[in-house]
Amino acid sequence: MSGIVVIFDFDKTIIDVDSDNWVLDELGASDLFNKLLPTMPWNSLMDKMMGELHLQGKTIHDIEQVLNRVPIHPRVVPAIKAAYASGCDLRVVSDANTFYIETILKHLGIRECFSEINTNPGFVDDEGKLRILPFHDFHKSEHGCNLCPPNMCKGKVIERIQATVAGEKRIIYLGDGAGDFCPSRKLVEGDYMMPRKDFPVWKLICENRDVVKAEVYEWSDGEDMERILLQLIASIIPIEKMENKNANQLFDCKFERIALGALSKPIYVPH
Ligand SMILES: [Mg+2]
Ligand SMILES: [Zn+2]
């Protein structure tokens, strides 16, 4: 293994849409969802909506079919495969759910690239209904972070990962949403934050530049993500140390090894 943990958000980072909205839109349930959203937390409402879809006769197979055609930029899967081939430890931290994420990653053929998926539990119950539960059981105890929704604090997940890798590994974190701001504040010097340009976490980082100790590299689409992520990895791992020789070919054909200084400049606070 290399000394790098790459942590991906899922919605609008690995895939190009929000998986919850995608499923509801495709199955014609968005109007009801939007009507009920002011009345309960997002995560609890998703569970309720899966019950509604079940009542309407929509099956798990229908949901899987919708998930299997989710939009994804064509360079994202190659980027993930290359990062995995270079020996990085890849993980997902997402406020979607295990059923959506597992289904999509398996369909894309990249499930085995990830050592861990941290997200809300999603499972099919005895009646064939998809249930979506909170990552933190906030009915029992609150996670205590006021930046994050009650069901999940991604920063807590980062703290656990940091404790297990004991400062020996550098973290690269990729995300787009407001929920990715809390974990980006947990990163330390030597880590890298890759916020999606013009998305909520990017704006929050621009406005609070001093609270993020990691070096920040913005990206706009899957092509950008692939180029910047693989350049960062190549700048951290000496090529000769890559345990998988195929990784050399993957890197050689895409870009030359570039020193960090040659990368696009970290983003700055606009005045
Ligand atoms: Mg996201
Ligand atoms: Zn938090």
Complete DSSP assignment for 108-175? HT-GGGEEEEEEE-EEE-TTS-EEE--SS-TTT-----TTS-TT--HHHHHHHHHHHHTTSSEEEEEE
CA 153 to centroid of ligand 2, rounded, Å: 4
Ligand 1 centroid–CA 254 distance in Å is 26
Q: How far is the CA of 180 from the centre of ligand 2 (A)?
A: 9
Q: First and final CA of the chain: distance in angstroms?
A: 41
Mean pLDDT of all residues in 171-197: 97
| Residue 191 labeled ligand binder | no
**Contact assessment for residue 50 and residue 19, using Cβ atoms and an 8 Å cutoff:** no
pLDDT at 2: 77
Nearest-angstrom CA–CA distance, 104 and 244: 26
Which ligand number lies closest to the CA of residue 199? 1
Count of beta carbons in the 10 Å neighbourhood of residue 130:
24
What CA–CA distance (Å, rounded) separates 214 from 43? 30
Phi-psi region of 174 (alpha: psi -120 to 50; beta: other; left: phi over 0): beta
pLDDT at 140: 76
Tokens of 205: 């980082």
Is residue 255 within 8 Å of 205, Cβ to Cβ? no
Is residue 18 part of an annotated ligand binding site? Answer: no
- Protein residues placing their CB within 5 Å of the ion ligand 2: 145, 147-148, 153, 155, 182
Kindly report, residue by residue over 215-269, the tens digit of the pLDDT.
Answer: 999 999 999 999 999 999 999 986 546 555 555 444 443 444 443 444 555 554 4
Topology of domain 4-15+73-119+145-262 in CATH is Rossmann fold (3.40.50)
Does the annotation flag 16 for ligand binding? no
Residue predicted with more confidence, 34 or 268: 34
Angle in degrees, 0-180, between the axes of helices 19-26 and 98-108, rounded to the nearest 10: 90
The pLDDT score that the predictor gives to residue 137 is 81
Q: Is 198 a catalytic residue?
A: no
Instruction: Report the pLDDT value the prediction gives residue 242, as an integer from 0 to 100.
Output: 54
The partner residues of 193 in beta bridges, in order of sequence, read 173, 216
Residue 209 confidence class, pLDDT cut points 50, 70, 90: very high
Task: For the chain, give the mean pLDDT.
Answer: 90
Catalytic residue among 9, 47, 89, 180: 9
Instruction: Please give the distance, rounded to the nearest whole angstrom, from the Cα atom of residue 41 to the centre of ligand 2.
Output: 16
Report how far ligand 2's centroid is from the alpha carbon of 122 (Å). 21
Please determine, for residue 166, whether its predicted confidence score (pLDDT) is greater than 80: no
State the ligand closest to the CA atom of 119.
1
Q: Which ligand is nearest to the CA of 180?
A: 1
Residue 210 has pLDDT above 70, yes or no: yes
How remote is the C-alpha of 185 from its chain's centroid? 16
Lowest mean pLDDT among 119-123, 152-156, 233-237, 263-267: 263-267
Is residue 191 part of the annotated active site? The answer reads no
pTM: 0.88
Answer whether residue 136 shows pLDDT above 70.
yes
In which band, very low, low, confident or very high, does the pLDDT at 153 lie, cut at 50, 70 and 90? very high
CB 30, CB 21: distance < 8 Å: yes
**pLDDT tens, 50-67?**
999 999 999 999 999 999
The whole-angstrom separation of Cα 235 and Cα 134 is 37
